[in-house]
């Protein structure tokens, strides 16, 4: 073999080894994120006004110790569903945000970019104020069902508009913003005519809060995530190809229109479910995917699971913080994520601005 | 030996909404093993033709390669037959160079071979040392080479390159054109959009001159490159010098200065 061929061979082996190291590092990071998520979940279980420690909580859950009846009820009916919902909402919103940023080719996109939060709030307030609903259920289900349908309908409407005008991702975002303004205006109108009591309900609904957690909500969120996530992960290759630009992706044989549509349907389902039951938990869907991207890069085989895990970890941490900031009071989690997420958002904008062209 | 496969395109039409960008353009046959330079002023329709040929944008008109009808080829097959290098490079991505190639090859090779094949392409273009760099950290020229690597990663038989040398220094330009020649020597039919006419004359077998979406001239570079053509199509007074078998274009001034800015 000639010297040149030998050198080339050595370079190949070295590059293969370096890439293998990179992949291993990413897998280790995923495992660490998973562990951190579990730790945050347990810490979340062991935090709250009632004195149930992590050790108590874990051993009671495993059936090893008996707690007093009151603490048993608190653990099973409050702490556990809240902690699970924190994980599920975080995972859902972050996965949705990751897909959204990829298909819209916009690093500042998140599930609520397309006006979905206002649409959901509008749906909820119609149910609260006028009792108008599109579901057969009453009470809180009417509100959640309405919020879900309005959120989903708004996303589908935006997509239909964009497809009808065969416009690009940027136009889609602008349509979403316009729709959000429209929903917000109608929402103000409803608030204007609402009674003081209903107004208070609307305001509390709009603040993202885990306090509405119960087991049926856990089940619904878990089902939606379990239904959607496998499809997201299966689309990992195509989504990675989309990062090479539309023309490149099409020339590689990917149907980018179909890919976008299916991704946005997944995003809609995840975001609409979570906003319907928990309200607006902002910035998670924006910031968590960026953290995931910094950790494992943009190969979606790693990026999507990492986003999911970072999201779960983030909202779990926010849930813990929401109980600790003011002792004895649980601050709505949407306020916590917004306060922590806003600096993150500003940092992203500045970082983007500084990046050389 | 059998006759090499030939790309034949006739009556190619492209519409952007109501505006017609190409209206029934027929190209001279483009044989496998040859390099064709597509030249013409800005807005002449060069990129549109390449996009239409690569089926990135909808178009009409028969398009065949050998016995194969390119229009009825499934996207997955087409992607192994046609390599396309767009003018625009992806922005703001953390994907590494090797990952971008692996995703480009994915589906065309078994998973074991994916990484080796990706590295082989990088070695061919002499950018293997950037394998693990994110695309965003590369210089413009390096990114252009990565884009070329993505286009040739599946060893396509038809290669459409949109200004592959626009961001490259002199040495890299020659290196890329040498690669283009060797790809042709391996049996690919290559169409390359170039603005540098001397570079086109140096490396292409055939030159197609476009003007306002129409075929102005086609043929061997020394026949096509004339002062009359340059004045007519580009609106410049230029000298065309021959040194040995090389043709060099020396632009002097615009035909009608200060009127069409």
Q: How far is CA A125 from the centre of its chain?
A: 23
CA A108/CA A272 separation, integer angstroms: 19
Q: Is the pLDDT of residue B199 over 90?
A: yes
Q: Is the pLDDT of residue B9 over 90?
A: yes
Q: Which domains does chain B have, with CATH numbers?
A: 6-225 (3.40.50.300), 230-261 (no CATH)
Tens of pLDDT, residue by residue over B130-153, are 999 999 889 888 999 999 999 999
Across residues B250-254, what is the average pLDDT? 87
**Spatial contact of A159 and A179, defined as CB atoms under 8 Å apart:** no
Give percent above pLDDT 70 in chain B: 96
Chain B residue closest in CA terms to A294 = B94
**Spatial contact of B190 and B34, defined as CB atoms under 8 Å apart:** yes
Q: Is the pLDDT of residue B89 over 80?
A: no
Show the DSSP H helices in A46-130 as ranges. Answer: 54-61, 69-73, 80-103, 116-125
Q: Where are the beta strands (DSSP E) in chain B?
A: 6-9, 12-16, 19-25, 30-31, 35-39, 63-65, 68-69, 82-85, 158-162, 189-193, 206-211, 214-219, 236-243, 246-254
Give residues with Cβ within 8 angstroms of A321, minimum separation 6.
Answer: A336, A340
Q: Is the pLDDT of residue B1 over 60?
A: no
Give residues with Cβ within 8 angstroms of A315, minimum separation 6.
Answer: A86, A87, A89, A90, A93, A281, A284, A333, A337
Within 8 A of B134 by CB-CB distance, chain A residues are: 297
Confidence band, pLDDT 50/70/90 cuts, at residue B180: very high
Cα Rg, chain B, nearest whole Å: 19
Tens of pLDDT, residue by residue over A20-36, are 999 999 999 999 999 99
CA distance B163 to chain A (A): 15
Residue of A11, A241, A352 lying closest to B123 (CB–CB) = A11
Per-residue model confidence (pLDDT) at position A356? 46
Task: Indicate the range of A137-151, B156-170, B238-252 predicted with least confidence.
Answer: A137-151
Angle at B48 (CA atoms; ends B44, B53), nearest 5 degrees = 130
Residue of A15, A297, A298 lying closest to B131 (CB–CB) = A15
Chain A residue closest in CA terms to B47 = A247
Across residues A34-47, what is the average pLDDT? 94
Give percent above pLDDT 70 in chain A: 95
Q: How far is CA A202 from the centre of its chain?
A: 22
Q: With an 8 Å Cβ cutoff, are A244 and B103 in contact?
A: yes
Q: What is the DSSP string of A258-300?
A: HHHHHHHHHHHHHHHHHHHHH-B--SHHHHHHHHHHHHH-S-H
Instruction: Tell me: ipTM over 0.85.
Output: yes
CA B188/CA B208 separation, integer angstroms: 18
Question: What DSSP state is assigned to residue A194?
Answer: S
Q: With an 8 Å Cβ cutoff, are B75 and A253 in contact?
A: yes
Within 8 A of A18 by CB-CB distance, chain B residues are: 131-132
Q: How many CB atoms lie within 10 A of CB A196?
A: 7
Across residues B254-261, what is the average pLDDT? 61
Q: Which residue has the tokens 């071979």?
A: B113
Q: With an 8 Å Cβ cutoff, are B104 and A248 in contact?
A: yes
Structure tokens at B183: 């790809």
**Secondary structure (3-state) at A135:** coil
Most A-contacting residue of B103, B111, B116 (CB-CB within 10 A), to test interface: B103
CA distance B106 to chain A (A): 8
Chain A and chain B share a number of CB contacts under 8 A equal to 102
Across residues A163-172, what is the average pLDDT? 77
Give residues with Cβ within 8 angstroms of B196, minimum separation 6.
Answer: B165, B173
Give percent above pLDDT 90 in chain B: 71
Within 8 A of A8 by CB-CB distance, chain B residues are: 123
Q: Is the pLDDT of residue B226 over 90?
A: yes
Q: With an 8 Å Cβ cutoff, are A253 and B107 in contact?
A: yes
Within 8 A of B78 by CB-CB distance, chain A residues are: 253
Chain A contacts to B (CB-CB under 8 A): 8, 11-12, 15-16, 18-19, 22, 107, 237, 240-241, 243-245, 247-248, 250-255, 293-294, 297-299, 352, 355
A89 or A138, higher pLDDT: A89
Closest-CA residue to B92 (of A116, A188, A354, A71): A354
Q: Is the pLDDT of residue B261 over 60?
A: no
Tens of pLDDT, residue by residue over B18-61, are 888 899 999 999 999 999 999 999 989 999 999 999 999 999 99
Question: What DSSP state is assigned to residue A38?
Answer: H
Q: Which residue has the tokens 């997955």?
A: B76
- CATH number for the A42-354 domain, one of 1.10.3470.10, 3.30.1490.20, 3.40.50.12280, 1.10.150.120? 1.10.3470.10
Tens of pLDDT, residue by residue over A204-214, are 888 888 887 78
Q: Is the pLDDT of residue A44 over 80?
A: yes
Q: Is the pLDDT of residue B107 over 90?
A: no
CA A66/CA A59 separation, integer angstroms: 9
């Amino acid at each position: 073999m000639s010297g040149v061929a030998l050198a080339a061979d050595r370079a190949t082996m070295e590059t293969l080894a370096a890439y293998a190291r990179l992949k291993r590092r990413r897998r280790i990071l995923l495992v660490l994120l998973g562990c951190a998520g579990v730790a945050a979940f347990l810490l979340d279980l062991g935090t709250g006004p009632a004195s149930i420690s992590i050790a108590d909580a874990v051993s009671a859950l495993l059936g090893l110790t008996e707690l007093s009846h009151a603490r048993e009820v608190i653990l099973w009916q409050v702490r556990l569903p809240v902690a699970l919902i924190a994980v599920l909402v975080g995972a859902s919103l972050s996965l949705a945000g990751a897909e959204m940023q990829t298909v819209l080719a916009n690093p500042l996109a998140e599930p609520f970019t397309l006006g979905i939060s206002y649409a959901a709030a509008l749906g909820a307030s119609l149910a609260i104020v006028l009792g108008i609903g599109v579901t057969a259920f009453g009470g809180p289900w009417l509100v959640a069902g309405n919020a879900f349908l309005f959120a989903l309908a708004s996303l589908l409407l935006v997509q239909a508009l964009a497809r009808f005008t065969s416009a690009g991702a940027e136009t889609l975002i602008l349509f979403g913003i316009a729709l959000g303004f429209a929903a917000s205006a109608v929402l103000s109108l409803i608030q204007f005519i609402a009674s003081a009591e209903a107004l208070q309900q609307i305001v509390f609904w709009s603040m993202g809060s885990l306090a509405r957690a119960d087991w049926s909500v856990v089940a619904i969120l878990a089902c939606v995530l379990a239904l959607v996530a496998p499809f997201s992960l299966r689309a990992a290759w195509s989504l990675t190809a989309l990062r090479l630009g539309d023309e490149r992706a099409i020339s590689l044989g990917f149907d980018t229109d179909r890919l976008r549509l299916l991704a946005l349907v997944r995003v809609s389902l995840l975001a609409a479910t979570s906003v319907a039951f928990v309200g607006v938990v902002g910035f998670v869907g924006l910031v968590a995917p960026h953290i995931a991207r910094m950790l494992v890069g943009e190969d979606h085989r790693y990026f999507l699971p990492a986003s999911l895990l970072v999201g779960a970890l983030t909202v779990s941490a926010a849930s813990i913080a929401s109980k600790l900031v003011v002792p004895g009071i649980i601050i709505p989690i949407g306020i916590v994520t917004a306060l922590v997420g806003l600096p993150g958002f500003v940092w992203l904008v500045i970082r983007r601005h500084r990046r050389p062209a | 030996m059998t006759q090499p496969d030939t790309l034949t395109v006739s009556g190619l039409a492209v519409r952007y909404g109501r505006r017609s960008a190409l209206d029934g353009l027929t190209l001279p046959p483009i044989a496998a093993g040859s390099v064709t330079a597509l030249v013409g002023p800005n807005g002449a329709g060069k990129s549109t033709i390449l996009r239409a040929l690569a089926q990135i944008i909808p178009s009409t008109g028969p398009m065949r390669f050998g016995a194969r009808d390119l229009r009825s080829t499934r996207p997955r097959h087409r992607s192994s037959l046609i390599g396309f290098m767009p003018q625009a490079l992806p922005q703001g991505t953390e994907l590494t160079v090797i990952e971008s190639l692996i995703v480009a090859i994915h589906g065309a090779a078994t998973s074991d071979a994916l990484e080796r094949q990706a590295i082989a392409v990088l070695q061919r273009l002499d950018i293997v040392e950037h394998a693990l760099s994110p695309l965003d950290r590369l210089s413009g020229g390096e990114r252009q080479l990565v884009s070329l690597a993505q286009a040739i990663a599946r060893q396509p038989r038809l290669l459409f390159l949109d200004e592959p040398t626009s961001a490259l220094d002199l040495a890299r330009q020659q290196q890329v054109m040498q690669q283009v020649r060797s790809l042709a020597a391996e049996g690919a039919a290559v169409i390359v959009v170039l603005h540098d006419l001397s570079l086109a004359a140096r490396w292409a077998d055939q030159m197609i001159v476009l003007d306002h979406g129409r075929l102005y001239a086609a043929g061997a570079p020394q026949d096509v490159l004339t002062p009359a053509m340059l004045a007519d199509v580009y609106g410049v007074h230029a000298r065309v010098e021959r040194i040995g078998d090389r043709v060099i274009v020396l632009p002097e001034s615009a035909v009608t200065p200060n009127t069409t800015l």
